[in-house]
Amino acid sequence: MKRYSVFAVARQAFAHHQGWEKAWASPEPRARYDVVIVGAGGHGLATAYYLGRNHGITSVAVIEKGWLGGGNTGRNTTIIRSNYLQDPSAAIYEKARSLYETLSQELNYNVMFSPRGVMMLAQTEHEARGYRRTVHANLLQGVETEWIGPQRVKELCPIMNIDGPRYPVLGALWQPRGGTARHDAVAWGYARACSDMGMDIIQQCEVTGIRTEGGRVTGVSTTRGEIACGRLGLVVAGHSSVLAAMAGFRLPIESAALQALVSEPIKPCMDVVVMANTVHGYMSQSDKGEMVIGGGTDGFNNYTQRGSWHHIEETVRALIETFPMLSRLKMLRQWGGIVDMTGDRSPIISRSPVEGIFLNCGWGTGGFKAIPGSGWAMAELMARGHSPLAAPFGLERFREGRFIDESVAAGVAH
Amino acid sequence: MLTLTCPCCGVAAEETELAPGGQAHLRRFGPGSSDDDFTAYLFDRANPRGVHLERWRHAYGCGKWFLAARSTVTLEVFGTYPAQTREPPADVVARIRQRHPEWEGSR
Ligand SMILES: Cc1cc2nc3c(=O)[nH]c(=O)nc-3n(C[C@H](O)[C@H](O)[C@H](O)COP(=O)(O)OP(=O)(O)OC[C@H]3O[C@@H](n4cnc5c(N)ncnc54)[C@H](O)[C@@H]3O)c2cc1C
Ligand SMILES: [Zn+2]
Give the pLDDT of residue B107: 58
Chain B closest-CA separation from residue A59 CA (Å) = 31
Q: Is A206 in the pocket of ligand 1 (CB under 6 A)?
A: yes
Whether A179 contacts A103, CB under 8 Å: no
Rounded distance, CA A173 to CA A155, Å? 15
Q: Chain A within 8 Å of B19 (Cβ-Cβ)?
A: yes
Which atom of ligand 1 lies nearest, measured to the CA of A243? 41
Is residue A124 domain-shared with residue A272, that is, in the same domain?
Answer: yes
- Does residue A365 line the site of ligand 1, with CB under 6 A? yes
C-alpha–C-alpha distance, residues A61 and A53, integer Å? 15
The minimal CB distance from A310 to the residues B15, B52, B73 is found for B15
CA dihedral A65, A47, A73, A349 (to 10 degrees): 100
What is the pLDDT, as a whole number, of residue A164? 86
Ligand nearest to the CA of A253: 1
Helix axes A125-141 and A87-101, enclosed angle (nearest 10): 70
| Close Cβ partners of A405 (under 8 Å, ≥ 6 residues apart) | A86, A344, A345, A346
Claim to verify: residue A260 and residue A336 sit in the same structural domain:
yes
Angle among Cα A75, A307, B99 to the nearest 5 degrees reads 115
Closest residue to atom 25 of ligand 1, CA basis: A41
Q: Is A69 within a domain?
A: yes
Same domain, A383 and A271: no
What kind of fold does domain B3-25+47-99 have according to CATH?
Folate-binding fold (3.30.2270)
For residue A408, is pLDDT > 80? no
Q: What is the mean pLDDT of residues A388-403?
A: 96
Tell the burial category of A18 from Cβ atoms under 10 Å away from its Cβ (0-12, 13-18, 19+): exposed
> A396 to chain B nearest CA, in Å?
10
- CATH number, domain containing residue A308: 3.30.9.10
For residue range A212-251, what is the model confidence (pLDDT) as tens digits?
Answer: 999 999 999 999 999 999 999 999 999 999 999 999 999 9
CB A236 within 8 A of CB A284: no
User: Looking at the domain assignment, is residue A21 inside a domain?
Assistant: no
CA dihedral A362, A367, A373, A374 (to 10 degrees): 30
Q: What is the tally of structural domains in chain A?
A: 2
Q: Are residues A187 and A336 in the same domain?
A: no
pLDDT-based confidence at residue B41 (cuts at 50, 70, 90)? very high
B105 to chain A, any CB pair closer than 8 A? The answer is no
Q: What CA–CA distance (Å, rounded) separates A55 from A35?
A: 12
Q: What is the DSSP string of A18-73?
A: --PPPSS--PPPPSEEEEEEE--SHHHHHHHHHHHHHH----EEEE-SS-TTTTGG
Supply the range of the domain harboring residue A220.
27-78+183-252+344-410
Pairwise CA distance, residues A100 & A206, whole Å: 30
Q: What is the ipTM of this complex?
A: 0.95
Residue A157 lies in a domain: yes
Residues contacting A350, CB < 8 A, separation 6+: A358, A359, A381, A390, A393, A394, A395, A396
Q: Which of B38, B43, B53 is the mutation pick for testing A, counting most A CBs within 10 A?
A: B43
Q: Tell whether A85 is covered by a domain.
A: no
Is residue A8, in this structure, part of any structural domain at all?
Answer: no
Please identify every residue whose CB atom is under 5 Å from ligand 2, which is an ion: B 6, 8-9, 58, 61-62
Give the B window 46-65 contacts with A, CB below 8 Å.
46-49, 52, 54
Q: Is residue A124 part of a domain?
A: yes
- What is the least distance, in Å, from the CA of B54 to any CA of chain A? 9
Chain B residues whose CB is inside 8 A of the A304 CB are 72-75
Based on the domain organization, do A320 and A290 belong to the same domain? yes
Asked if residue A151 and residue A214 are part of one domain, the reply reads no
Asked whether residue A370 falls in the same domain as residue A243, the answer is yes
pLDDT tens sequence across A71-116: 999 999 999 999 999 999 999 999 999 999 999 999 999 999 999 9
Same domain, A222 and A168: no
Which residue type, as a one-letter code, is found at position A70?
G
Residue A291 lies in a domain: yes
The atom number, within ligand 1, closest to the CA of A260 reads: 1
What pLDDT shows up at residue A413? Answer: 47
Average pLDDT over residues A363-371: 97
Q: Would you give the DSSP letter of residue A368?
A: G
Amino acid at A63: I
What residues does each domain of chain B span? 3-25+47-99
Task: Verify that A354 and A378 share a domain, yes or no.
Answer: yes
Residues A277 and A369 in one domain: no
On whether both A197 and A318 belong to a single domain, the answer is no
> A240 CB under 6 A from ligand 1?
no
pTM: 0.97
Same domain as A361, residue A334: no
Compute the average pLDDT of residues B45-52. 96
Ligand nearest to the CA of B56: 2
